[in-house]
Amino acid sequence: MNKPTRQFLSTMLLFLTASASWSDAKAGIGGRPAHVGNFYFLLFDNDFDTHTAVLTTKNYAGDATGSNSYSSNVVIPATIKAENKYNEMTTYTVIGIDNYAFYGSTSIKSVDIPKTVVSIGKMAFEDCTSLEQITVDPGNQKYYAKDNVLYDFAQTELIVCAKTKTGKFTVPGDVQKIDEYAFQGCTEITEIVLPSGLKNSEEGVFSGCSKLT
């Protein structure tokens, strides 16, 4: 088997196991809580001897109660070391950000998302009122950030906007969906231009945009 084929199969395996882990995380199935460094995770040990992790809230609940557990400049690791279900130290690939993972973390200034993250839960950045900067590793094939706005890789879905946007903001022409509370707390935005192809705008998109005229 040549190197490109091995790389392709390895990538496909990661995406398949990541999808399974993410489905389990959303359903609250099987994840083991772990506190590694300044982060909180749910750990998954899969059938193919692949170990994945989903970043979650301090209370591991993944609900809207909020943990306020993250602050300052957050650099999400691509991998972590933690004990597996056999109490052996194992490398886990960080493949997801849980629903409400950063909810209420009002002191966060920036978030750096690694290339390994393939799923971001709903309202993961809700009430991050000090969020100024959002970056995504260039190798990430699921998400993309430009001018501190987070999109899916194809830029058809706008996920969240940093709170420091000012004046007029034009949503890119390919965007078809704007997620819940995407512009929440963008108090300095005065005008938003929406694309003609926009199909879906979720709840609370412009909540707290007090200068939006």
Q: How far is Cα 206 from Cα 36, in angstroms, rounded to an integer?
A: 35
Asked if 74 and 113 touch (Cβ cutoff 8 Å), the reply is no
SS3 16: helix
Mean predicted confidence (pLDDT) in 2-7: 52
Q: What is the pLDDT of residue 30?
A: 59
Which DSSP symbol is given to 60?
S
**Structure-model confidence comparison of residues 116 and 207, the more confident one:** 116
Q: What is the pLDDT of residue 187?
A: 93
Mean predicted confidence (pLDDT) in 73-90: 92
Q: How far is Cα 18 from Cα 43, in angstroms, rounded to an integer?
A: 11
Confidence of residue 28 (pLDDT cuts 50, 70, 90): very low
83's CB contacts (< 8 A; 6+ apart) are 34, 89, 90
Confidence of residue 49 (pLDDT cuts 50, 70, 90): confident
Mean predicted confidence (pLDDT) in 145-159: 96
Q: What one-letter code names the amino acid at 95?
A: I
pTM > 0.85: yes or no: no
Q: What is the pLDDT of residue 20?
A: 57
Which helix (H) or strand (E) element contains residue 189?
strand 189-193
Q: What is the pLDDT of residue 121?
A: 92
Mean predicted confidence (pLDDT) in 153-169: 94
Mean predicted confidence (pLDDT) in 196-212: 90
Give the 3-state secondary structure of 61-104: CCCCCCCCCCEEEEECCCEEEEECCCCCEEEEEEEEECCCCCCC
Mean predicted confidence (pLDDT) in 15-40: 67
Using alpha carbons, list the distances in angstroms from residue 118 to 1, 113, 185, 204, 205: 27, 10, 26, 25, 23
Kindly report the CA angle at 204 between 178 and 73, in degrees rounded to 5?
A: 75
Q: What is the pLDDT of residue 52?
A: 94
Q: What is the pLDDT of residue 113?
A: 98
* 173-202 tens-digit pLDDT: 999 999 999 999 999 999 999 999 999 888
Q: pLDDT over 70 for what percent of the chain?
A: 80
Q: pLDDT over 90 for what percent of the chain?
A: 54
